[in-house]
Chain A
Amino acid sequence: MREIVWTLVAFALQAAVSPLLGRLESQFFAPDIALLTALYVGSRSSLLRGVACGFAVGLFKDGLALAAPIGVYTEITVLAVLAGRVLEKRVDLRSAVPLMATAAGVTLAATALFLLLEAVFHRAFDAYLDVVQMALPLALVTMLVAPLYFALLDRLSRPIEGHARPTLLGRGR
């Protein structure tokens, strides 16, 4: 149930963020919601549910960004779910600063993976320099949004879980 809610939230935000920032003429500073969702799901959910959720969110992003071959973002988000599972055991992803650092690192790694996958599978792709130039701004924006997004998903999970667990905004009731 939680995973469905997270997936739907990710769908809605991905669909809304781009036009919203487009209206503000700052669409290049859109945070990577799919990646943050995958990281969150990986750190909060079981392996299979997390992978399924990451798969759906990545596929949806592939649908929104048809410029890349379908599967690129799906692959990245599934791997991000796995990374989230691994990192959750080593980094305190419930604290803001470690979370931000992790989000920035994962975003940069995801960009590198994107370039690699594009280079391998996308024969018509030639915008490597643009992607490299946007890597750092994307990582910074995603890093800044990460604590807020995690707090939002925590808040949405609380009524579903029905029991208290520590969150970024404090311990739930």
Chain B
Amino acid sequence: MSLITEPRSTAMPARDGPTTSPARRLRLHVWIAIPVFTALALPLLATLLYAVSTRWGATLLPDGLTLEWLARLWSTPRFIAAFGRSLFVVAGALMLSLVLILPVAFLAHTRYPRLDRWMNVLILAPFAVPPVVSSVGLLQLYAGGPLPLVGTPWILMLTYVSIALPFMYRSLINSLRSFEANELMEAAQLLGASPLTAFFNVILPNMRLGIRIAIFLSFSFLIGEFVFANMLVGTRFETLQIYLFNVRRESGHFTSALVITLFVFILILTWLGNGRGEITAPEAGDT
């Protein structure tokens, strides 16, 4: 559900309808595209310009350009620390997700079709229950008692497993489907491999690309997560998003540099994750 592959370009009507006179009617789609994509680009462009401008007061365009804000950002210990914490939480969550979800996806695909049907319902849960609602329960379940996790990075890692689930599970299943894991499994076992050996020596190497996509997609999604981070942990373990929130009223240029850095980082990850023309739609993201 969360992964959409671009339809083959041959399936799209590539050329204009036969009766159109190219000079006048062809342009309708261009007249739609220009304002829409300009509007989509404007906030990003403004932030980028703000991040590299010396001063941008009550004028239409900034006075001059500089890299000072970016330099200052990267020499701010608090930023580096927050970045480190974010990487720690997200990497931990991804490792945990992979270890927990990979066996489920593998067994659902190769052994238990019923499990797959169940999983397809379960992956809707993070979309059906907004993070704010989950937080209400989590705050009360894990604030004290036998598992006092609120305020620690551990609760974020564990909670992120379920919000990364749709991305992870769909990418892994797509990967298993792409090389017909079922038949490979049978072949390996016919040749005398135990299920475990077959899994580690035959299936896992074939899933390398799928796992990479799953990780990069979830990474860019999780590093932008704010609601859980703010409600469950907040300033007790200041991640990048919390840091950004806390400094948002300070120098606009500095914060812009932070936003742009974060965005470029996510961009590189997304690009690494799907360098082969796939469209990925984070469904009902962390807005």
Question: Do they bind each other?
Answer: no
Residues of A that sit less than 8 Å from B by CB:
none
Residues of B that sit less than 8 Å from A by CB:
none
